[in-house]
Amino acid sequence: MKYPIKVYTMKCKKCKKDIPDESLYCMYCGAPQKRDKKKKLYQRPDGLYEKKITIDGRRVAFRGKSEAEIDKKILDYRQRKQEGPLFREVADEWEAIHFENLSPNSLKNYRPALNRARNAFGDRHITDIDAQEIKNYIKRFESEQHAKKTVKTQISIFSMIFTHAAVKGYVTHNPAEFIRPSNNVKPAEHREPPTEKEVQIINSSIGKTFGLFAFLILYTGCRRGEALALQYKDIDRNKNLVHITKSVFYVNNQPGIKTPKTTSSIRDVPLFSFLGEHIPPGSPNEYIFHNQRGELLKQHEFDKLWKTYQSESGLSLTPHQLRHGYATLLFENEISEKDAQELLGHSTLAMTQDVYTHIRKLRRAKTFAKLNLISINDPSQMP
């Protein structure tokens, strides 16, 4: 292939270097040269034509192989500027900026909501989406019986994307700003703490597969990830404390260690003597719960161990329910809500109050059931 030979017969008016004949700008210093009035477009050294115009107070350069191609690009740009980018493009842009700094747990909650938003409005121009459309979508989403927390997350994703669009100048306001879940959305379900009978089974199942894990959570209130991250150096037998300073998270089955998002999760809890007796000795940096290679348990390894424990013990509890069992223990021993907040690692007192309120309701229901049984069997026992 033969390439056109540039003839360097001109000298730049500013830097005096040789430049191609009929250049409108110097390729070295950028200084403008004498313009040919008959020539409408500037041809760059690479052979492309270029045209700069002002749109909304901003100088924008358009390049192409011909004037017709440049005119089409200008028309497309003006139309795109008027309609705005597609919702999918803005969502992708927002994700690239914000997802990088999110914790694995936040990503786990946000990603499904972001995908739902993309599927609903992805091919629509962002300027065409109004508050009523988002409200209608949320109403349909609520009708699918999602929990209130899930609905709030979905609304939050819409709001953050449109806020980003407003900052970038794609839209003039955030249409999701004042959208809230309706009053008939079901609240988040409380996971019931273990019953007295289930606690007895947990106490007698320490020797079963993964039995120590369940026993430890019940009597320390650790979250699942916090328990999996415990090393023998975190078991302080001199002070009878368990130091909770880190947590395990999973990405595509692979475990990782993270520090808590809030300082309230870093805490010391009492090491009950009966619990300490069942924790075997180990080297300081060794994980208490590990696989055969002495490494952190992978997601599928943990799932397999927990299912085996459920099968051997006959329990269908989750680790989080065992944590609620610890909260019940604190409640029954009249530990104040403020002290319980510190022991449970809650970021706000309201979270602890919510748990305590639920426990009170359970205790009240059991009391009423007992009173009702007495009145049916022997009404004379009633005061």
Three-class SS of the chain: CCCCCCCCCEECCCCCCEECCCCCECCCCCCECCCCCCCCCEECCCCCEEEEEEECCEEEEEEECCHHHHHHHHHHHHHHHHHCCEHHHHHHHHHHHHHHHCCHHHHHHHHHHHHHHHHHHCCCEHHHCCHHHHHHHHHHHHHCCCCHHHHHHHHHHHHHHHHHHHHHCCCCCCCCCCCCCCCCCCCCCCCCCCCHHHHHHHHHCCCCCCHHHHHHHHHHCCCHHHHHCCEHHHEECCCCEEEECCEEEEECCEEEEECCCCHHHCEEEECCHHHHCCCCCCCCCCECCECCCCCECCHHHHHHHHHHHHHHHCCCCCHHHHHHHHHHHHHHCCCCHHHHHHHHCCCCHHHHHHHHHHHHHHHHHHHHHHHHHHHHHCHHHCC
Residue 119 lies in a domain: yes
Cβ-contact 44, 63 below 8 angstroms: yes
Q: What is the mean pLDDT of the chain?
A: 86
Cβ-contact 296, 255 below 8 angstroms: yes
**What pLDDT does 299 receive?**
93
Clarify whether residues 274 and 318 are in a common domain: yes
Binning pLDDT at 50, 70 and 90, where does residue 200 land?
Answer: very high
Parent domain of 11: 1-36
Domain boundary among 83, 118, 139: 83
Mean pLDDT of 144-172: 91
Which of the two residues, 71 and 203, has the higher pLDDT score? Answer: 203
pTM beyond 0.75? no
**What pLDDT does 170 receive?**
87
Residue 46 lies in a domain: yes
Mean pLDDT of 352-362: 85
Q: Tell me how far CA of residue 190 lies from CA of 175, 244, 322, 361, in angstroms.
A: 32, 24, 13, 11
Residue 286 lies in a domain: yes
Binning pLDDT at 50, 70 and 90, where does residue 304 land?
Answer: very high
User: What pLDDT digit, counting tens, does each position of 88-144 carry?
Assistant: 999 999 999 988 877 777 888 899 999 999 999 999 999 889 999 999 999 999 988
Which of the two residues, 114 and 1, has the higher pLDDT score? Answer: 114
CATH of the domain at 111: 1.10.150.130
**What pLDDT does 104 receive?**
77
User: What pLDDT digit, counting tens, does each position of 2-18 carry?
Assistant: 445 555 567 887 888 88
**What pLDDT does 187 receive?**
64
Nearest to 319 by CA among 209, 204, 191, 187: 191
Residue 203 lies in a domain: yes
Clarify whether residues 17 and 45 are in a common domain: no
Clarify whether residues 251 and 329 are in a common domain: yes
Clarify whether residues 203 and 149 are in a common domain: no
Point out which residues pair with 136 in neighbouring strands.
none
CA–CA separation, 145 and 211 (whole Å): 35
Binning pLDDT at 50, 70 and 90, where does residue 217 land?
Answer: very high
Counting the structural domains of the chain, the total is 4
Residue 370 lies in a domain: no
**What pLDDT does 1 receive?**
44
CATH of the domain at 327: 1.10.443.10
Q: Within 13 A of 110's CA, how many CA atoms are on the CB side?
A: 19
> In one letter, which amino acid is 143?
S
Clarify whether residues 128 and 232 are in a common domain: no
Which of the two residues, 315 and 73, has the higher pLDDT score? Answer: 315
Clarify whether residues 216 and 331 are in a common domain: yes
Clarify whether residues 122 and 260 are in a common domain: no
**What pLDDT does 12 receive?**
82
pLDDT over 80 (residue 215): yes
User: What pLDDT digit, counting tens, does each position of 19-75 carry?
Assistant: 776 677 777 787 777 655 555 678 888 888 888 888 767 788 889 988 888 888 887
What share of the chain in percent tops pLDDT 70?
Answer: 87
pLDDT over 70 (residue 168): yes
Residue 304 lies in a domain: yes
Give the tokens for residue 152. Answer: 């709030």
CA–CA separation, 239 and 242 (whole Å): 9
**What pLDDT does 105 receive?**
75
Which of the two residues, 383 and 235, has the higher pLDDT score? Answer: 235
